Structure 1
Amino acid sequence: MRSLLNLVLCLAFTSQLVLSLHAIIPGTKLIDTDSWSSTDSGPLGLRADNFFLKTFRTQLATSLLKSDSEFQPGYDGMIDMIRLVHSSSSSKSDVVLKSRTALQSLFPNFPPAMNEEVGLLFWFKILFARPLPVFSSKLNTWVTWWASQWLMGHSTIEDLDDAEVGDGQNQLLLVKRCRYLEASSCASVCVNTCKLPTQAFFNEDMGVPMRMIPDYETYACRFEFGKKPTKEDEEVSKNVACFVECPSKGEDRKRLSSSCMN
């Protein structure tokens, strides 16, 4: 009986060790030439990048009930805010909501909407996304490429196989090495403050189907415009294992997973 118990304990320990070793090797296929340097800028230039960064930081600070000046300047300070949003939120849904609201803040509330939605997003959905879904999918691929490289890093526009909306030409935005994921060093932060809120933003706020697929070995990320997220994708993303260098050592994941709101 004792030998059987020892065998069970040994197997349990071995399985946990294998799981931990499997989960904790992020960035094993990084390509240095794809990294974002301090002198890089997106297609719109440094002024536009700095405007987007400042606006995003302001909204994050507001959600934290803090001042932007309480954090270090620049992109690193924004990542500190993101981590604090993640660690101080009461549930996954709370994290997603705050992050989605920060994305909405990048767009003007004009012309005024007929409800509580952000004006520009509401009217885009009414005037473009619903009547012109193919055009809207292609347009959002290009606009995201133009306006978001400051946040995610260098990206290219490519064709998408098996698009559900459109012919797939120029409907895939491929982020080569996501600086957001690399700077946060946390798979849970990636899922809860980027993947889930960004998908909700495009699918619900803009009315454009879009699925995100991050790669934790290369730090690449696929923005598939014209495809909706699947339940299988969501389960995989929510259960992705922790990084060994995760600042919270997995504690945020445990706390958020055990919250009553999940």
Structure 2
Amino acid sequence: MATFHQFRLLIVLILASIAPIDAFQPAFSRRRHTTRRSLPLRSSTTPPLRAADLALSIPSLLVLNKPSPTSQVTSEGLAKDILETQDAIGSEDGLVLREALKVKRYLLLCCLLKESEEAYYRVASFLAESEVYDFERWDAPNVQEFGLLRKKSGERDSYYSEYSPPPRTNVREITRVVDDLTLTKDSNLSKRNDKMSALDGVLLTIFRKVVGEETKSGTGTTPSMEGLVEQGRNFMIKTNEESHSSSPSTADERQTQMVRSTLRRLMGPIKPIYRLFMGGIVPAKVAVTLQKEDWKNKQVFEGGLFYAPFLTSLVTPLFFQWLVGPARTSRRKDGTRGGVVVEKCRFLEISNCKGLCLNICKKPAEEFFKEELGVGLYVQPNFATHECHWNWGVEPPEGGVKEDESWPKGCMEGCVDRKKVAAVVARQERVNDNDDNTETI
């Protein structure tokens, strides 16, 4: 998380300012107590970093977000610097310099992600899988393309201990055909079972009440998140049954519009404020006051203001944990700020339904931010891990999920809704065929 690292760096620099001069002796000249497996990386001519160079380069990395002056601006040079920095972390006994080296490692990984996505995932997954290095998966700026690793019992995130997917698993490739339906394997991860706080419960109750009003079906009797999933499932079946087209597109659109209307009501007065200060959209009243009719609801900067993705990513984990579970900020796949990763989505874990994920969450959220708030959003759920990555300032593929390589084929194996929806669609097809035959006669 970028803000956490910035805060840690501030503490480091304060301590460094009062530390004795000999505390900054060359760290890379010390004997290293760790070993690493070789990586197929070309050698770099970058000289070993000194602690003095490090102290000078960290502020420039933080402010300018560029490689340090002692690093080559190539993927090979950055990878070498990252591994050398990781070695120095293991051999450094001083708290001040060790924390500074961790910040240095994080920022170098960000630079490598910008330079070469392939090189970044190769280096980051190597560090995460290594049993020698002290490097957790969440220490990486972006974790989209390498899997969850086994954790020792009692450690944080121990609920992932039952399954370790290989790095860069493409869930679209894990498919089989049953009853003429292409199916994707369910997640093998154990249930997270987060306990919701009292505040989370209140917010969820309010949300469910608004959803019940929008769907005109009430909240039902099932409590908590399971009840919300049931509301979404019942509305999905209802819209498919009421659709008079053989294509489910009409039903999908009704589900999307229901969620957009719900979000619009929940945001209330926050929506015009966000549109102005994040989306850069001129309010109609302001345009009338200035006598500029052509300025009404006009977006000054396409895609929103430059800081909108980053600031949105900061507040999202605070305000939406009650709905999706614990989340944290991350870097987008281009290495820039503006991303959020949901550690294990409650809604996706309970529903295990691709249609609900698409029409009740992904699609309406993307459309709502783009069309009503003026900031682009790309939501990427991972059906193998139930993680979900939200990337503001990024446009989803133009062709929708059909052009999205991260989207799985067919239904999930354990989805309880696929046969219901298939039966509804088949029944509508028969009705349409009978109508056509009647017209012919």
| TM-score (structure 2 length as normaliser) | 0.45
1:124 maps to what in 2? 274
CA distance 1:93–1:242, shift in 2 (3 Å):
same
Match of 1:97 among 236, 257, 279: 257
Give the SS at the match of 1:129.
Answer: coil
- 1:246 and 1:84, CA in 2 relative to 1: closer, same or farther beyond 3 A? same
1:173-188 alignment to 2 at 5 Å? 173-188=340-355
The answer to whether the aligner puts 1:134 opposite 2:306 as a matched pair is yes
- Distance in 1 (CA, whole Å) between partners of 2:277 and 2:327 is 28
- Alignment-mate amino acid for residue 238 of structure 2: S
Give the residue type in structure 1 aligned to 2:354.
A
> Residue deviations 1:55-105, cap 9 Å, x none?
21111111232333x322222211111111111113110011112222222
Aligned-pair distance for 1:174? 0.7
Structure 2 partner of 1:151: 323
Could you tell me the percent identity over the aligned residues? 21
Match of 1:212 among 365, 368, 379: 379
Aligned partner of 2:52 in structure 1 is none
Tell me whether 1:203 sits opposite 2:370 in the alignment: yes
Does residue 65 of the first structure (1) align with residue 65 of the second (2)?
no
CA distance in 2, matches of 1:236, 1:217: 19
Larger Rg: 2
Unaligned runs of at least 5 residues, structure 2: 1-174, 244-250, 281-300, 433-441
Whole-angstrom distance in 2 between the partners of 1:221 and 1:135: 22
Query: More relative contact order in 1 or in 2 (CA 8 Å, sep 6+)?
Result: 1
| Deviation beyond 6 Å, 4+ runs, structure 1 | 256-260
CA RMSD between the two structures: 2.8
Distance 1:217 1:67 in 2: 32
**Equivalent pairs, count:** 219
What residue identity is the alignment partner of 1:174?
A: V
* AA in 2 matched with 1:205: E
Alpha-carbon distance between aligned partners in 2 of 1:55 and 1:253, rounded to the nearest angstrom: 32
Say if 1:217 and 1:239 are closer, same or farther in 2 by CA, change over 3 A: closer
Deviation for aligned residue 1:136: 1.4
Cα-to-partner distance string for 1:2-41 (whole Å, 9 max, x where unaligned): xxxxxxxxxxxxxxx943497231213x265xx242x244
- Tell me the SS of whatever aligns to 1:133: coil
Superposition TM-score, scaled by structure 1 size: 0.73
Once the two structures are superposed, residues 116-171 of structure 1 have per-residue CA deviations (whole angstroms, 9 ceiling, x without a partner) of: xxxx31342133312562221112112211111121122121111327xxxx22x1
Q: Distance in 2 between matches of 1:31 and 1:235?
A: 29
Structure 2 counterpart of 1:65, one-letter code = K
